[in-house]
Structure 1
């Protein structure tokens, strides 16, 4: 009996079973990758990629080798080829030629490793659409990478690249190219062949000039050449007719670029050597809303500045400006004028300290008061409430202003004076309004800019949604908790400021306004956002969620690649860490993308 008992403990099939190989990758992760086609190995301290990862599409899984029964959901012969491989934030020093065994890859993420070279086999991944190589030690880019005919995004920032191969012009489907933070002194002329490019980032290199062929990049919307050694911006680049954002900070430019830029909205040219603003350059900026010229050598502002009818923000900090032209006040949309660090004369310091609105009022009075009085015409009419109806602003600037009065309502006489006028701008800020004035609807066909900040609004009437021309709404410092769903019908709205209110969630209506470029929601009580809805806002470039109640940041927020400025400080989440946040929006978004679960 003892003999049979002993025999009963023996595994009679032991000789027929296959021993599971030792691997640094949990087998369950590989098994899940066969089903999903995605494998995330980020942040695992890998010094090399295990061979079973390369052979994931080739070797039979253990289930097929063993005599094991399993359900329909585990049928190994129905496995999915690997399309997404994430290897970021490891310690990889090289990548094996065996990467060619994964020909179905569409995304390969190798950022934040220690790669000094790349295998030529990368060129065999003909399905590849995204190749992320930032934060490595690459000194060159193999020509084989330029054979990836389906590649859409190539990110190479924070490497040691001294040149780019001429063959890069073969990447005919590329829409994003990031070569920032390298050692580039020039670019190949073939870059002009990348006709589908939309975003080009070249900042923090050693470029002294740009190739003329870049003028052929007619689809580029963002071009960042900051922190280089550019002395001029070639006229040949005037072919970039869809350019919306141009960054030229920290170069050696002596003049603004002269471009027929019908779509250019933001031009950053601070920290250069610009001394004069010339009419030809200003006249080309027909759509610019933000012009940054801080830390230059500008001595005066020409009268031609009034050509910038769309300008909302002008930064002239730290220049050599001694006088301001009164015509500056005629810019109809100017909201922010920064002049600190200039030797201004003739304007009292207390006027400058009051901010843009009061400074523009002062300059406006210099234009109109004396000529009007000399002609014997009254400049304004006084109402019983002691308010002043500025007829000049109403008729010439199409502006209706009644701000800083601490009033509980807007006098009807003000609206009466603006009757039959195509009012564009309304400023009723810094009062005690508890509701939006109903008579604003009289300007529904023209009103584009409305400022009701610093009031006591606890509710936003759906009537506001009939103002179909609105492009900018300022409702900061009120008591709002929600926005009406009808706001989604504001099809031209580009920016909305809701700081210092009482929102507990991201206003649902904003997810549906596809034209939005700026959303300011700082200092509320927002506890969450829906990244899948935010991704639909393809024009959103600025999102302020600072000082709210966010307990976690969804990794999918990193897919909102249109964002140029994301403010998250002052919330209660633990990740991303402060060190990552301090590196700026691009790094935060990249970090979030690397944490998306497969």
Structure 2
């Protein structure tokens, strides 16, 4: 009985009493019985407008079955059963929680996301063992000061509420590792945030922040900082001293200059798209030694400096929708997997080369460098001619560039020696384009732990095999110019996929599985026979930025597509629909979306 003593002290009604029968059909007795054994209770999606008393008192009252069975077996000794440690009551219609919350002092996880809560009870301070609290997607306007008593809290999820400020003493949550405050109405970040020294991930996106405090640099363990969609005009220079920072998101702000990061040696991804940055110089690039992803789309850049070659680790570079008229040939020296250039007035590269994709652009730039080095060109050609056996498998590319390249061979099958050549080396990129492949090589499964980029374009594929769906680290997939008309549902397991190119195939609808890959940022499905898209499902793809539907069979564009406000590039030319008219399409994506939104039936 000692297990109940602490709760009994707080509630004079506690004792040997029959369990209340106010649960009704919403909480079956069998579910409560199982919860007493497991310590976990999931009441998600049960249309609850309030939490039944039997839930709060699950560890206090005598269970109903105990009153009916006085000869308790070992399995029925209710007083020896487990305290509730995990309670999920998300996706209901709760407008408030009562102070009876204190009757569950052993809780380590409380998930109340997606309800209609406007406040939290002060009794939340009693949950001293709580490690994870999810109150996202509610209507909270303020947080109670008592929340600062939760000293063991590691994850706090408050996104999609109506918070305008945080309570005094918030920095006392010194165990916090993951804090999500996105999609609220915050106008300032308290300087005291620097005391959150355990924080690893901080999401402040979609608020109304005009600045960040210099003290934010005190978060010595912070790896992931998301400040997308705010009103930031500058970044405090102290941010550059955050040595643990790996991912920094500053999209959709009002930045005019790219910050410098002399101490951020671990920074892998920098997203500063959709700002007002006008210049990119060597001083902005020289310290980004570990950068893998650099997003500069939708800015006002006029040029790219030769010093871009300093970014030897760079894999993805997005320069789309700027004012760049020429590129330095030195860009061809980088080992990019993805280069986005659309929306620039480029004059030095023909449009047809850009349309062929990243590798073709890099080859073009490399050839321009080689034009100045004819003697070197000759020696390379001679070597390739004198050593034909080695030219079949480019071992140098495998070892130094981590690329398994067997492209432009017109091969029906990929020889085993190609995969054998990998041996113990790490390969992150596979290029089997421009062959005659009718199916994806089964041995690609051997690379599932390391490959992030696969190019199977310009083949004769009519289906995608399940081996491809095992590539868990895949971020970029090029399947254009094949005979595909569907994708397997198993592609849902590609949980890191960001870009897929399905242009020049035989799709009649946008494959359903794509709607269920939330990481997708770019879908290129131009030059198919697509006749419809689902705007409701499309809206759930919060990361989707680029959608190319050019040259398909769309007879109409659903107005609800205008609600996909995260889209920055929507290409619709070459379809048989009548509206929007060409004059609207020429104004760009923002104008198209606004036009469509205006035509949503009310």
The answer to whether the superposition gives a TM-score over 0.5 is yes
1:147 equivalenced with 2:149 (yes/no): yes
Structure-to-structure mapping, 1:191-210, within 5 angstroms: 191-210=193-212
Aligned residue for 2:391, secondary structure, equals helix
Deviation per residue, 1:530-586 (Å, 9 max, x gap): 99xx9xxxxx74489999998x99xxx9xxxxx955999x9xxxxxx9846732379
1:452 equivalenced with 2:431 (yes/no): yes
267-276 or 253-262: which moved more? 253-262
The residue number in structure 2 matching 1:334 is 336
159-168 or 442-451: which moved more? 442-451
Indicate how the Cα distance of structure 1 residues 77 and 252 shifts in structure 2: closer, same or farther if over 3 A, else same: same
- TM-score, structure 2 as length reference: 0.72
1:432 equivalenced with 2:410 (yes/no): yes
The residue number in structure 2 matching 1:269 is 272
Aligned residue for 1:281, secondary structure, equals helix
1:479 equivalenced with 2:457 (yes/no): no
Pick aligned residue for 1:48 from 39, 50, 53: 50
User: How far 1:96 sits from its partner (Å)?
Assistant: 0.4
Q: How many residues align?
A: 497
C-alpha separation between the residues in 2 aligned to 1:548 and 1:45? 32
User: How far 1:266 sits from its partner (Å)?
Assistant: 1.5
C-alpha separation between the residues in 1 aligned to 2:151 and 2:177? 12
Pick aligned residue for 1:414 from 367, 371, 391: 391
The residue number in structure 2 matching 1:372 is 373
Aligned residue for 1:200, secondary structure, equals strand
User: How far 1:176 sits from its partner (Å)?
Assistant: 0.8
User: How far 1:447 sits from its partner (Å)?
Assistant: 6.8
Aligned residue for 2:270, secondary structure, equals strand
Structure-to-structure mapping, 1:229-240, within 5 angstroms: 229-240=231-242
Pick aligned residue for 1:300 from 290, 300, 303: 303
Deviation per residue, 1:203-255 (Å, 9 max, x gap): 11000111112112222222110000011111111232222221111000011
Pick aligned residue for 2:454 from 497, 501, 512: 497
Structure-to-structure mapping, 1:536-551, within 5 angstroms: 541-542=496-497
C-alpha separation between the residues in 2 aligned to 1:34 and 1:377? 76
Pick aligned residue for 1:81 from 56, 80, 83: 83
- TM-score, structure 1 as length reference: 0.73
C-alpha separation between the residues in 2 aligned to 1:28 and 1:416? 63
**Cα root mean square deviation, aligned:** 4.1
Indicate how the Cα distance of structure 1 residues 146 and 430 shifts in structure 2: closer, same or farther if over 3 A, else same: farther
Q: Return 5+ residue gaps in structure 1 as ranges.
A: 1-16, 392-409, 459-476, 535-539, 558-562, 571-576, 588-598
1:278 equivalenced with 2:255 (yes/no): no
User: How far 1:382 sits from its partner (Å)?
Assistant: 5.2
Conserved? CA contact 2:19–2:62, under 8 Å: no
C-alpha separation between the residues in 1 aligned to 2:19 and 2:59? 20
Conserved? CA contact 2:19–2:63, under 8 Å: no
The residue number in structure 2 matching 1:176 is 178
Indicate how the Cα distance of structure 1 residues 89 and 377 shifts in structure 2: closer, same or farther if over 3 A, else same: closer
Indicate how the Cα distance of structure 1 residues 436 and 126 shifts in structure 2: closer, same or farther if over 3 A, else same: farther
The residue number in structure 1 matching 2:23 is 23
Aligned residue for 2:169, secondary structure, equals helix
Conserved? CA contact 2:428–2:453, under 8 Å: no
User: How far 1:336 sits from its partner (Å)?
Assistant: 2.1
